[in-house]
Structure 1
Amino acid sequence: MGHNSIVGKSREILASESQDSNTQIQRYVRLTNLVPELLEFVDEGRIKMCPAVELSYLDEDCQRDVVDEIDLNDATPSHDQTIRMRKLFNEDNLTTEAIHAVMSEEKPNQKEKIVLRGDRVRQLIPKNIPVSQTEDFVYKALEHYNKFFND
């Protein structure tokens, strides 16, 4: 019996004795390939499991470059970003510059959002403006207000 079949059998036994699936156990095993700093980010919940697994395929130098970028940008990579980094690594194209470029991208969940409470806004909008046109009304009001201050 080969090493891989023993490991596979061990995962199956663990999966049957725990609430984790065989795939989830494989992910936990992959995490042992992370540098301590990345593993700590996983433990703290700053990096999710799937992105961490992708990072586990990078060599130590690349992982340390990722840690440096996390510290520099105060942002962790998304799953999509880690998939792209792993692909670049597999193609021998993952450089410090490439990691910086990927990690510097603005992610959709990091874009600034402005939240307005509906009850407060609705008080200022004429009753004849339907709810479906509220956003347009607010935008036009802000444009008008901006012109007033810039003239």
Structure 2
Amino acid sequence: MGSRVAGKIKLQSVDELLGVPEIAGTQEIELGRIHSFPNHPFKVLDDEKMDTLVESIRENGILNPVIVRPDQNGDYEMISGHRRLHAAGIVGLKKVPAIVKEMSDDEAIIKMVDANIQREEILPSERAFSLKMKMDAMRRQGARVDIDGTCGNDCHKSGTKTADIVGDTVGLKGRQVRNYVSLTYLIPDILEMVDLGKIQFVPAVDLSYLDEQIQKWVFEYIKDNGFIKPVQISALKNYPNLSNANQFSVISIMNDALPKKSSSAKVSLSEKKLDKYFPPHFSAKERENVIIQLLEQWSAEQKQAE
């Protein structure tokens, strides 16, 4: 991992991570010969940042070459530079500067993740799927796994040594890596809510442990009610035999988990209401004294009536 300077972690540059010299070996490659990395987890959006990148490339060209690897068809697969390639197409460039590196499939996955995950802003879903891709690739390469060596639907429920190793490379603890990977078990609708900030990270991790059907009912509940509270998610997670519950039961569990409203009655007497009964010169204290006296008189009458 990067060196520590004055107590802070200094992450390696993309070039250092990929073992690529600064500019040496740069080639000009036609845009049409470069295809996206399969199942690329990082989103290329036409947002304000893309507009800024487009303007930069229009004025200065592409300053940092993209990183690619040759494929079996004589073309190239993108490792680092999906956003630059997209922006170059918008600008109208025919070719982009690229550094070509030979690497295996798993090496390509690891280097693709390392090159992209250090972006300043990255969505939870992007981090989640990229970390999972890297963990799976490292596992295939022989990294020690503290579970049965497979990564099925229950994989995110167990700790792995691989997560610790991956965490060291991206400035996260192994537990944090495992939590991010848990998000990959969320249904797409709920994961989108996490990306939009409508569901916070920790409750989202708890939701990831629920069956897919339960998650769908939770999503419907959020759509209908406009919210979900962490206490509701916790109640679902801790409910015994939840997998056997129906939609009505799931909704009941969530509703019962909400704090109960106070049953005590609240009476409000506005100044406008009181003006009908008191002279204008009466102060608030004088009005209060009159009301108390009347209430005491009414209470005494009620007791006599009994």
Fold agreement, TM-score > 0.5: yes
User: Mind listing any 5+ residue stretches in structure 1 that lack a counterpart?
Assistant: 112-141
The Cα of 1:62 is off from its aligned counterpart by 0.6
Question: How far apart are the structure 2 equivalents of 1:62 and 1:150?
Answer: 56
Percent identity over paired residues: 30
Greater RCO (CA < 8 Å, at least 6 residues apart):
1
Q: Which residue of 1 aligns with 2:218?
A: 66
Q: Which residue of 2 aligns with 1:82?
A: 233
Q: Which residue of 1 aligns with 2:43?
A: none
Does the 8 A contact of 1:69 with 1:103 survive in 2?
no
SS at structure 2 position matched to 1:24: helix
Does the 8 A contact of 2:193 with 2:199 survive in 1?
yes
The Cα of 1:33 is off from its aligned counterpart by 0.8
Q: Which has the higher strand share?
A: 2
The answer to whether residue 232 in structure 2 is matched with residue 100 in structure 1 is no
Q: Which residue of 1 aligns with 2:192?
A: 40
Asked which structure has the greater CA Rg, the reply is: 2
Q: Which has the higher helix share?
A: 1
Q: Which residue of 1 aligns with 2:171?
A: 19
TM-score, length basis structure 1: 0.63
Q: Which residue of 2 aligns with 1:131?
A: none
The Cα of 1:98 is off from its aligned counterpart by 2.9
Question: How far apart are the structure 2 equivalents of 1:40 and 1:69?
Answer: 15
Q: Which residue of 2 aligns with 1:143?
A: 269
Question: How far apart are the structure 1 equivalents of 2:252 and 2:276?
Answer: 37
Question: How far apart are the structure 2 equivalents of 1:25 and 1:90?
Answer: 28
1:11-38 deviation line (CA, Å, top 9, x unaligned) = 1111111222211111111111110001
Does the 8 A contact of 2:236 with 2:242 survive in 1?
no
Does the 8 A contact of 1:55 with 1:86 survive in 2?
yes
C-alpha distance 42-147 of structure 1, shift in aligned 2 (>3 A): same
1:13-66 deviation line (CA, Å, top 9, x unaligned) = 111112222111111111111100011111111111111111111111110000
SS at structure 2 position matched to 1:58: coil
Question: How far apart are the structure 2 equivalents of 1:29 and 1:143?
Answer: 55
Q: CA RMSD in A?
A: 3.2
Question: Which residue type is aligned with residue 41 of structure 1?
Answer: M
User: Mind listing any 5+ residue stretches in structure 2 that lack a counterpart?
Assistant: 1-143, 150-158, 262-267, 278-306
TM-score, length basis structure 2: 0.34
Question: Which residue type is aligned with residue 4 of structure 1?
Answer: I
Does the 8 A contact of 2:185 with 2:208 survive in 1?
yes
Does the 8 A contact of 1:31 with 1:39 survive in 2?
yes
Q: Which residue of 2 aligns with 1:134?
A: none
Question: How far apart are the structure 2 equivalents of 1:33 and 1:49?
Answer: 13
